[in-house]
């Protein structure tokens, strides 16, 4: 009997690399869907055998038929061109609509905007309010797990615990596509890596003419790194899974940049001791 030496330690990393290999094609497919909408069937597609996967949207959940588009390199590309983000780059069996992922992203970013009770100029459908109520009943912070539960409750089906992991995979893919599109836009606008630093100032440091000085000009707070207890093996037993992903935000400072100043306090203390 052959011994299987494979482990689950590098499962996350293998999944990351699989997504990276198809990401450029998914970005092009996403831009094509945003500009042209759903693909149209042509004469060449009549001879193709349709295939189905389960699709989850805000409207419902069910199987849909798909045909490979003429320029698609994989099933994942065909799905994105049709407005579906698959949960796996290889042989997907489930996908989420771009609209549902965009809706969840907006909830995470801005929450719900209230409407004035006097002279209303905007209304919400009963379906949208019912969906929001399901979100609030599950968890007011709109986590991935809460959103997955809300989708199941909203579609009136039993909750599937695995749905949160699949939703997380699709949402990560969606965010990667959005970040790639932002990079393309920044490149077209000739905005380099330092553009944000040179053109955007923190609001707390804005000053106007004749502004009286404040007793405390700036208030700052530092994280206690309690979140490390959830991922670092020093605080929590178990093997760490390889994950080479890095933050794409320009507000994030890398460890290498921070380490340039790690000896500053020691140097100052030594200089003081020699005085």
Q: Are residues 144 and 75 in the same domain?
A: no
> Does residue 238 lie within any of the structural domains?
no
Mean pLDDT of 239-261: 75
> Does residue 262 lie within any of the structural domains?
no
Q: What is the pLDDT of residue 124?
A: 45
> Does residue 153 lie within any of the structural domains?
yes
Q: What is the length of the chain?
A: 275
Which of 162, 189, 216 corresponds to the end of one domain? 189
Which of 189, 221, 244 corresponds to the end of one domain? 189
> Does residue 34 lie within any of the structural domains?
yes
Q: Are residues 69 and 125 in the same domain?
A: no
Question: What tens digit of pLDDT does each residue of 89-136 get?
Answer: 888 889 988 888 887 776 665 444 334 444 444 454 555 555 655 655
Q: Are residues 133 and 87 in the same domain?
A: no
Cross-sheet strand order for the sheet of 84-86: 61-66, 51-56, 94-97, 84-86
> Does residue 24 lie within any of the structural domains?
yes
> Does residue 203 lie within any of the structural domains?
no
Q: Are residues 16 and 80 in the same domain?
A: yes
230 versus 254: the higher-pLDDT residue is 254
> Does residue 75 lie within any of the structural domains?
yes
Place 275 in a pLDDT band, splitting at 50, 70 and 90. Answer: low
Burial 68-100 (b: 16+ CB within 10 A, else e): bbeebebbbbbbbbbbbbbbbbeebebbbbbeb
Q: Are residues 57 and 129 in the same domain?
A: no
Which of 151, 174, 189 corresponds to the end of one domain? 189
Angle between helix axes 144-154 and 98-110 (nearest 10 degrees) is: 130
Number of domains in the chain: 2
CB atoms near residue 145 (< 10 Å):
15
> Domain range spanning residue 71?
8-38+47-97
Place 227 in a pLDDT band, splitting at 50, 70 and 90. Answer: low
> Does residue 210 lie within any of the structural domains?
no
CB neighbour list of residue 166: distance below 8 Å, 6 or more residues apart: 87, 94
């Amino acid at each position: 009997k052959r011994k299987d030496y494979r482990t689950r330690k590098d499962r996350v990393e293998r999944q990351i690399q699989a997504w990276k290999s198809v990401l450029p094609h998914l970005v092009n497919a996403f831009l094509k869907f945003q500009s042209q909408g759903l693909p149209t069937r042509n004469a060449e597609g009549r001879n193709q055998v349709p295939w189905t996967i389960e699709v989850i949207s805000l409207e419902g959940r069910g199987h849909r038929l798909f045909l490979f588009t003429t320029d698609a390199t994989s099933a994942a590309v065909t799905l994105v061109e049709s407005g579906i983000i698959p949960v796996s780059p290889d042989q997907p069996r489930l996908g989420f609509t771009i609209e549902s992922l965009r809706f969840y992203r907006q909830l995470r970013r801005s929450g719900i905007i209230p409407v004035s009770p006097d002279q209303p100029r905007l209304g919400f459908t009963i379906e949208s309010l019912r969906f929001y109520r399901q979100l609030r009943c599950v968890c007011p912070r709109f986590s991935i797990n809460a959103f997955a539960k809300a989708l199941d409750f909203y579609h009136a089906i039993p909750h599937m615990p695995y749905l949160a992991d699949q939703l997380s995979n699709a949402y990560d893919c969606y965010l990667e596509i959005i970040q790639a599109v932002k990079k393309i836009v920044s490149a077209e606008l000739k905005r380099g890596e330092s553009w944000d630093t040179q053109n955007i100032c923190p609001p707390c440091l804005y000053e106007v003419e004749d502004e009286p000085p404040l007793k405390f000009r700036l208030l700052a707070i530092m994280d206690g790194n309690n979140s490390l207890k959830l991922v670092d093996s020093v605080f929590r037993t178990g093997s760490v899974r390889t994950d080479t992903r890095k933050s794409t935000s320009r507000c994030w400072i890398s460890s290498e940049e921070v380490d340039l100043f790690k000896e500053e306090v020691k140097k100052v203390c030594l200089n003081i001791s020699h005085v």
